Amino acid sequence: MLDECGRPVKVRTARNLTEAARLLTDDVHCILLDLSLPCDDGGGEGADRADRAESGDGVGVRDGRVRVQGDGTPVRGARRGTDAARGADAARGGEAVPGGGPASEPAEAREGDGTHESGGSREGDGAREGKAAESGELEILRRVLRMAPRHAVLALTDGADAERDADAVRVGAQDYLIRDELDGRLLTRAIRYAVERKRNDLAQRQLTETRLRAQENARLERGLLPRPLLEGSELRFAARYRPGRSRALLGGDFYDTVRTPDGTVHAMIGDVCGHGPDEAALGVELRIAWRALTFAGLCGDALLSTLQKVLEHERASEEIFATLCTVDIASDGRSAGVCLAGHPSPLFAGAGGAAPRLLPYDESGPALGLLPKARWPRRQVTLGRSWSLMMYTDGLIEGRLDEGAGGRERLGLQGMLDIVSHRMAGGARGERLLDATMNDVRRLNGGELTDDVAVLLLDRDC
C-alpha cells in the first residue's frame, strides 16, 4: 500500500495493546483496530490469567495483532520503552486482526446438576453472549482511544451489525470499515480522511479550551478591578482604566478610593514598572495592601513605608519599583494631604471656572522599591468649596503627538493640561471629561496608547 506521495506505507503489528503502546512513536498516523478480536470473557479463567500475564496490563486481547500505519521505513520490531503518550500530532495506529485460535463454542448443558438446557434457554444465553461480545468489542476500542488520545482510529468490522458499527464512531473512532469491502485504495483514502478529521477535532478542542481559559481569566481579572467604597460621601467619583497588554483587562497600573469611618476620603493611584501579568498581579497586591492599611488608620509616610516592604517581599526582582500618589481629603472636603512617591502630581481645578493647574511637586519622595530607608513627606493643600481633582498614571502623558510618520514628541504634562483645560472650558465634567480627555490623547497619538493608562477623577460641588 502506498501513501499520497507514492511511498510505501509501513505497517507495524502488535500482539496486544501493550506492544501497540510501544509502537506509537512520532511517525505513527492511524490505528486500524479489528473489532472482531476476542475479548477476555471468551476463554475462561485460565485463559484470562494467561492473557493478563502476556499483555502485562490485563487487556483481554488474545492471539490477535495490532497493525500500525506509518511511514515507508522498514519495520525493525517494537521499540521497547517508548512512551505511548509521546508527541502525537502526526501519529497513525494499527489494525488488530483475529488470531489463529477458534472462538469457544456455547455450552450445551450446565454442569453440576445433570440437567440439559432447553432451546429457549440456549437462545437466551446466546443473546447474552452476543451483548457481552459487543460490549467487549467497544471496551477494547475505548481502551485504544484512552491509550492513543491524539491518534486517528479506524474500526474494522464484519458489517453484520450496522448499529454496532455506528456505536464505534459514537465511542470515538473516526470511521469504520467493513472487512469484506476493503481494498488498498479504499483503505488509503479512509486513513487519510481519518487523520485529517482527527487533526481538525484536536484543533477545535484546543480552540475551545483556549476560549474557555480566556473567559475564565477575564472573569478573574474583572473581579480584581477596584470597587470604590464611598458610601456617605458627597464627592463624585469617575475612573477610566485601559491596560497596555493586548486582550487583557488588568495591567500594572492600579487605583482605589475608600471612605474611612471618620469621614476622610482616601484616594490612591499607582504604576508598577513593566506591562506583563506579573506586574499586574503586583499592582493588585499593592492596591489591596493600601486599602487594608488605610482602614487600619495608616496614612502618609507610615503607609508608604509599609507598602514598600510589601513591594520588596512580593516583587520578582530587585529592579521592580512602583510609583504612587495618595490623597487624603478631609471630612469637610475643603483640604487634603498629598503624598507623591515618584508619581506625577495631580491636576486640580478650583471653583469659578479657574483654569486647571498641577499641584506642587517639590515635596515628593522616590518611587517605592528604590531606596530602603526613604521618607515621603505629606503636603497639605487647600481645596475650597467646589473643585475637581484628577489623578493619572504616566501612560496618559507619554503618548506621542501625531506629526506624521516621523513624529516623536510626547504629549507631556503641558499637553495633557491643555487638553483638560479646553474640555473643561467647554463644560465637560465627570465622566464626559474623562472620555473626552482619553479620546483626545488617543487621537493625538495616532491610535491606541501602548502603555497602561489609569485616570481617577473626584469632584465636589457646593
Could you please report the per-residue DSSP string of 2-31? B-TTSPBPPEEEESSHHHHHHH--TT--EE
Q: What is the DSSP letter of 43?
A: S
Nearest to 420 by CA among 394, 395, 446, 441: 441
What is the DSSP pairing of strand 152-157 with strand 30-34?
parallel
Please report the sign of the dihedral spanned by the C-alpha atoms of residue 196, residue 197, residue 198, residue 204.
positive
How high is the pLDDT of residue 71? 44
Helix (H) or strand (E) holding 184: helix 184-224
Helix (H) or strand (E) holding 327: strand 322-329
- As given in the structure block, the three cell numbers for residue 85 are 503518550
- As given in the structure block, the three cell numbers for residue 115 are 440437567
Q: Is 231 helix (H, G, I), strand (E, B) or coil?
A: coil
Distance CA 461, CA 349 (A): 12
Q: To the nearest 10°, report the CA torsion of 242, 247, 250, 255.
A: 10
Q: At which residue does the C-alpha cell 461480545 appear? A: 133
- As given in the structure block, the three cell numbers for residue 202 are 484536536
Q: Identify whether the C-beta of residue 321 lies closer than 8 Å to the C-beta of residue 371.
A: no
- Along the 462 residues of the chain, how does pLDDT read in single tens digits? 666 666 777 778 777 778 888 888 777 888 888 887 654 443 333 333 333 333 333 233 333 344 545 543 333 333 323 333 333 333 333 333 333 333 333 333 333 344 444 444 444 554 544 554 556 678 888 888 888 888 899 998 888 888 888 898 999 999 999 888 888 788 888 888 988 988 898 899 888 888 877 776 676 666 677 889 999 999 999 999 988 766 667 788 999 999 999 999 999 999 999 888 889 889 999 999 999 999 999 999 999 999 999 999 999 999 999 999 999 999 999 999 999 999 999 999 998 778 899 999 888 999 999 999 999 999 999 999 999 999 999 999 998 886 554 557 899 999 999 999 999 999 999 999 999 999 999 999 988 888 899 999 999 997
Distance CA 187, CA 20 (A): 20
Phi and psi of 378, rounded to 5°? -115, 120
Overall residue count recorded for the chain in this entry? 462
pTM of the predicted model over 0.85: no
Amino acid present at 325? C
Distance CA 207, CA 211 (A): 6
Q: In terms of DSSP H, where are the helices of 225-276? A: none
Distance CA 439, CA 429 (A): 15
Distance CA 407, CA 40 (A): 77
For the chain, the farthest-separated pair of C-alpha atoms sits apart, in whole angstroms, at 113
Distance CA 421, CA 427 (A): 10
Residues 6+ apart with CB under 8 A from 192: 4
Q: To the nearest 10°, report the CA torsion of 287, 293, 298, 303.
A: -50
Q: In terms of DSSP H, where are the helices of 296-350? A: 300-314
Distance CA 314, CA 278 (A): 10
Please state, in angstroms and as integers, the Cα–Cα distance from residue 160 to each residue in 86, 101, 155, 183, following that order. Answer: 36, 21, 14, 18
